[in-house]
A and B are shown apart, each in its own frame.
Chain A
Amino acid sequence: MPPFRIIALYVGWGLLWAGVQGWVLCTTGFPVNLAFTDALLTNVLVITGGCAMSITLRFYRPGVRQVVYLMCWSLGLAGVCLLMYTTAIEQLLKPETDYLAFIDQTLPVRLAFNWLMILFIVLQNWLWLYIKEKQQAEERKAATEKLAREAELFTLRQQLQPHFLFNSLNSISALVNTRPEQARKMVQQLSEFLRGTLRRDNQSMVPLADELQHLQFYLEIEKVRFGHRLQTEIICEEEALPLQLPYLLLQPIVENAIKFGLYDTLDDILIRISAHVQDSLLVISTQNPFDGELLQHKQGTGFGLDSLRRRLYLLYARHDLLTTEHQGQVFSTTVKIPQKL
Chain B
Amino acid sequence: MIKCLVIDDEPLARSIVCDYLQQYPQVQLVQECNNGFEGVKAIMQHQPDLIFLDIQMPKINGFEMLELVEQVPGVIFTTAFDEYAIKAFETNAVDYLLKPFTQERFDAAMKKWLQKQAQPVKEAPAKALEQVPAKQPEEQVRVVVKVNNDIRIIPVQDILYLEAYDDYVKIYTSTGCFLKKKTMGYYEKTLEEKQFVRVHRSYIIALSQLTRIEPLEKETHVALLKNGTRIPLSKSGYSRLKAVLGI
| A contacts, CB < 8 Å to B | 162-163, 166-167, 169-175, 177-178, 224-228, 262-266, 291, 293-294, 296-297, 299
Q: Looking at the complex, which of B10-18, B216-224, B233-241 is the stretch in contact with chain A?
A: B10-18
Alpha-carbon distance A163/B10, docked complex (angstroms): 13
28 A-B pairs (CB sep. < 8 Å): A162-B80, A163-B56, A167-B10, A167-B99, A169-B100, A170-B10, A170-B13, A170-B100, A171-B10, A173-B16, A177-B19, A178-B15, A178-B19, A225-B12, A226-B10, A227-B11, A262-B58, A263-B56, A263-B57, A263-B59, A264-B58, A265-B59, A266-B58, A266-B59, A291-B59, A293-B153, A294-B59, A296-B155
Contact of A174 among B13, B59, B98, B155 (CB under 8 A): B13
Contacts of B181 in A (CB 8 A): none
Contacts of B77 in A (CB 8 A): none
Alpha-carbon distance A169/B141, docked complex (angstroms): 31
Contact of B153 among A169, A173, A175, A294 (CB under 8 A): A294
Q: Which residue of B lies closest to A175 (CB)?
A: B12
Contacts of B80 in A (CB 8 A): 162-163, 166-167, 170
8 A Cβ contacts from B71-111 to A: 80-81, 98-101
In the complex, which of the residues B10, B37, B156 has the most CB atoms of chain A within 10 Å of its own CB atom? Answer: B10
Please count how many residues in chain B sit with their CB below 8 Å of the partner chain's CB atoms: 27
Query: Shortest distance in angstroms between B14's beta carbon and chain A's nearest beta carbon?
Result: 8
Q: Which residue of A lies closest to B78 (CB)?
A: A170
Is B35 close to A, CB under 8 A?
yes
Contacts of A296 in B (CB 8 A): 155, 157
Contacts of B141 in A (CB 8 A): 297, 299
Q: Which residue of B lies closest to A259 (CB)?
A: B56
Q: Are A173 and B100 in contact (CB under 8 A)?
A: yes
Query: Shortest distance in angstroms between B111's beta carbon and chain A's nearest beta carbon?
Result: 21
Contacts of B156 in A (CB 8 A): 297
Is B9 close to A, CB under 8 A?
yes
Query: Shortest distance in angstroms between A121's beta carbon and chain B's nearest beta carbon?
Result: 49
Q: Are B10 and A225 in contact (CB under 8 A)?
A: yes
Known pairs A266-B35, A266-B37; A166 contacts B12 (CB<8 A): no
Known pairs A174-B13, A262-B58; A166 contacts B155 (CB<8 A): no
Is B142 close to A, CB under 8 A?
yes
Q: Which residue of A lies closest to B154 (CB)?
A: A297
Contacts of B12 in A (CB 8 A): 170-171, 174-175, 224-225
Contacts of B81 in A (CB 8 A): 163
Q: Are B57 and A297 in contact (CB under 8 A)?
A: no
8 A Cβ contacts from B39-59 to A: 56-59
Contacts of A294 in B (CB 8 A): 59, 153, 155
4 more CB-based (< 8 A) A-B contacts, given A163-B56, A262-B9: A172-B100, A174-B13, A294-B153, A297-B141
Q: Are A297 and B155 in contact (CB under 8 A)?
A: yes
Q: Which residue of A lies closest to B10 (CB)?
A: A225
Query: Shortest distance in angstroms between B91's beta carbon and chain A's nearest beta carbon?
Result: 20
Query: Shortest distance in angstroms between B206's beta carbon and chain A's nearest beta carbon?
Result: 15
Alpha-carbon distance A169/B10, docked complex (angstroms): 13
Contacts of B19 in A (CB 8 A): 174, 177-178
Known pairs A265-B59, A297-B141; A170 contacts B99 (CB<8 A): yes
Contact indicator per residue, chain B 180-207, by CB within 8 Å of chain A (1) or not (0): 0000000000000000000000000000
Q: Are A166 and B9 in contact (CB under 8 A)?
A: no
Query: Shortest distance in angstroms between B203's beta carbon and chain A's nearest beta carbon?
Result: 24
In the complex, which of the residues A166, A172, A226, A296 has the most CB atoms of chain B within 10 Å of its own CB atom? Answer: A166
Alpha-carbon distance A174/B10, docked complex (angstroms): 11
Q: Are A174 and B16 in contact (CB under 8 A)?
A: yes
Q: Are A174 and B9 in contact (CB under 8 A)?
A: no
Contact indicator per residue, chain B 124-146, by CB within 8 Å of chain A (1) or not (0): 00000000000000000110000
Alpha-carbon distance A297/B34, docked complex (angstroms): 23
Known pairs A225-B10, A297-B155; A166 contacts B142 (CB<8 A): no
Alpha-carbon distance A175/B19, docked complex (angstroms): 11
Contact indicator per residue, chain B 1-34, by CB within 8 Å of chain A (1) or not (0): 0000000011111011001000000000000001
Alpha-carbon distance A264/B142, docked complex (angstroms): 13
Contact of B58 among A163, A177, A178, A265 (CB under 8 A): A265
Q: Which residue of B lies closest to A263 (CB)?
A: B58
Q: Are B11 and A228 in contact (CB under 8 A)?
A: yes
Query: Shortest distance in angstroms between A2's beta carbon and chain B's nearest beta carbon?
Result: 35
Alpha-carbon distance A234/B11, docked complex (angstroms): 25
Alpha-carbon distance A266/B98, docked complex (angstroms): 24
Query: Shortest distance in angstroms between B104's beta carbon and chain A's nearest beta carbon?
Result: 13
Alpha-carbon distance A174/B141, docked complex (angstroms): 34
Query: Shortest distance in angstroms between B48's beta carbon and chain A's nearest beta carbon?
Result: 22
Contact of B98 among A166, A177, A224, A293 (CB under 8 A): A166
Contacts of A265 in B (CB 8 A): 58-59
Alpha-carbon distance A171/B155, docked complex (angstroms): 33
8 A Cβ contacts from B136-183 to A: 141-142, 153, 155-157
Query: Shortest distance in angstroms between A218's beta carbon and chain B's nearest beta carbon?
Result: 16
Alpha-carbon distance A167/B153, docked complex (angstroms): 27
Contacts of B13 in A (CB 8 A): 167, 170-171, 174
In the complex, which of the residues A170, A294, A296 has the most CB atoms of chain B within 10 Å of its own CB atom? Answer: A170
Alpha-carbon distance A177/B156, docked complex (angstroms): 45
Alpha-carbon distance A262/B57, docked complex (angstroms): 8
